[in-house]
Amino acid sequence: MTFLSTLLPGLGLVWTRRRRLGILLAAFTLLALLTLAVVLVGGGLITGAANVLTAKGLKIALAVTIGAILLWLFSIVLTARTTHMTAWSRRGETVFKGFTALMCLAVTLPAAEAVRYVTVTQDAFGSIFIKNGGGQSAKENAFKRHERVNFLLVGSDAGKDRFEVRTDSVMVASVDTKTGDTTLISIPRNWQKVPFPTSNPLHDLYPDGFTCPDRGASEQCIMDAVWTEATVQHPELFKGQRYAGLNSTRDVVTEITGLEIDYSTVINLEGFQDLVDAMGGVDMTIPPGGIAIGGKIVNGVKTGITGRIPEGEQHLDGQQALWYARSRVETGDGDRMRRQRCMVNALVSQTNPFQMVQRFPDIMKVAKENILLDLPQDQLPDLADLANTMKKGQMKSVNLAYPIISDSNPDYDKVRLLVKKGLERPKATKKPAPKKTSTSSSTTTPSTSTSTTEEPVSDTTSTC
């Protein structure tokens, strides 16, 4: 009977003099489990989990978990006392008490782990979700009120000083809220003359674009220096703004693309390695010849390459995924930006909710130290709904790399036209009749896509 109450609170009491209480406890538990199942699975596992992960949801989850532990322990102990027999021998008494203690321990350990999950999440989210009025639209909920939601994704090569460095990658993910179709727009890190809007204090210093010929080669005024221009070079212009670097980067990206940024996220790329490891790795197709790990170019000579990611279908660990997204010693920035878009596509499409739950504490630990997100925490369910929709949609890329757009003198009018084209919904067309092909052409190996041959707007998967 005590064991049955361990399996389900109150079940062991059903066959005792406390039958009514046992039925009440068992029915209450089953109802609670059914409610939890509806919350978690009714709108999808990711959305259900997001409902729990709001600030209010986490507080409720903590209170419910602690209450469930106490109720379960009460049920086990009460069943043991109710079924205890005074005629037992001393050895029988000892065995029975030991068994009851073991059942209590069997319930307490996993329940305590659940409490740890909740507290770890609360602690992590306290660092991840930032209140950044300058980096967030005035809309109450961009997910439900707009046809598209635009996310700014910033990859930082920051170390322990957290994000106060140059941005290694800048990308916009524009998501159609109805279809889930996503357009990825990579902004080259070495673009010159990037424009500041009039609302940004740096516009007065650089009314004709971000340029500073008087500085040395190590302090070029290019896209990846916008962040530090605000936080290091001119912090006096941003008094009271905690995230001046992020906001200035967002302002420039809005001016470049013509897209209003709704939400921004910053990921420390060194932490990205740990994040991929925590998620169990990622599957990628590596081009012929593989991809260099490490390395740089000194006086025109490639040096410092420490290894290679082999070509073909590969399951990448965190270090390999990081170099897949960062390596440019052999290919340049254009191809690297293409691979970064491929990595985003892979992580979105390959996310396994059950695996994420299993690795949740590790993921939360990495996220706390390496991710900033200016999305209100209570909008997590809306983000989860959008993520589920994205998995059903298609992903396109807008390629702005040289020679499509000049690095030294970007044509921003052309950029905005390409972005607008990339956001267009595909028109329904009849499929053409299949053409007959010769044997020789049918066996031709497709060429590997590169930044110089890639179309300005293309399907992301086809370029990976």
In a domain, 442, yes or no: no
In a domain, 435, yes or no: no
What residues have CB less than 8 Å from 165, skipping those under 6 apart? 156, 157, 158, 159, 227, 228
In a domain, 437, yes or no: no
Same domain, 94 and 196: no
Burial 242-274 (b: 16+ CB within 10 A, else e): ebbbbbbbbbbbbbbbebebbbbbbbbbbbbbb
Question: Which of 128, 156, 189 is the last residue in one of the domains?
Answer: 128
Residue 436: predicted pLDDT: 43
Same domain, 261 and 385: yes
Domain count, the chain: 2
In a domain, 436, yes or no: no
Same domain, 216 and 301: yes
Residue 139: predicted pLDDT: 52
Mean pLDDT of the chain: 84
CATH number at residue 211: 3.40.630.190
Whether residue 224 contacts residue 336, with contact meaning beta carbons closer than 8 Å, is answered with no
Question: Which of 78, 106, 128 is the last residue in one of the domains?
Answer: 128
Same domain, 214 and 239: yes
Residue 129 DSSP one-character state: B
In a domain, 443, yes or no: no
In a domain, 410, yes or no: yes
Same domain, 80 and 152: no
pLDDT tens by residue, 145-164: 788 999 999 988 755 444 45
What residues have CB less than 8 Å from 363, skipping those under 6 apart? 275, 278, 279, 356
Better-scored residue on pLDDT, 342 or 45: 342
Same domain, 159 and 222: yes
In a domain, 434, yes or no: no
Residue 234's domain comprises 133-425+448-463
| Whether residue 418 has pLDDT greater than 80 | yes
Same domain, 81 and 225: no
In a domain, 189, yes or no: yes
Cα angle 110, 30, 43 (rounded to 5 degrees) comes to 85
Cα separation, 71 vs 32, in Å, equals 12
Establish whether the linkage from the previous residue to 197 is cis, with ω within 30° of 0.
Answer: no
Which DSSP string do the residues of 13-44 spell out, in sequence order?
GGGSTTHHHHHHHHHHHHHHHHHHHHHHHTT-
Instruction: Please count the residues of the chain.
Output: 464
| Whether residue 438 has pLDDT greater than 60 | no
Same domain, 121 and 144: no
Residue 164: predicted pLDDT: 53
Same domain, 112 and 163: no
Q: Report residue 425's pLDDT band, with 50, 70 and 90 as the boundaries.
A: confident
Helices (H) and strands (E) in the chain, counts: 16, 11
Same domain, 190 and 278: yes
In the chain, what percentage of residues exceed pLDDT 70? Answer: 87
Same domain, 30 and 150: no
Cα separation, 23 vs 29, in Å, equals 10
Residue 443: predicted pLDDT: 35
Q: Report residue 251's pLDDT band, with 50, 70 and 90 as the boundaries.
A: very high
pLDDT tens by residue, 259-312: 999 999 998 877 888 889 888 899 999 999 999 998 887 777 788 888 999 999
pLDDT tens by residue, 49-93: 788 888 888 898 889 889 999 999 999 999 999 998 878 888 988
Residue 176: predicted pLDDT: 93
Cα angle 122, 282, 330 (rounded to 5 degrees) comes to 120
Question: Which of 68, 101, 128 is the last residue in one of the domains?
Answer: 128
Same domain, 290 and 322: yes
What residues have CB less than 8 Å from 311, skipping those under 6 apart? 286, 287, 288, 289, 290
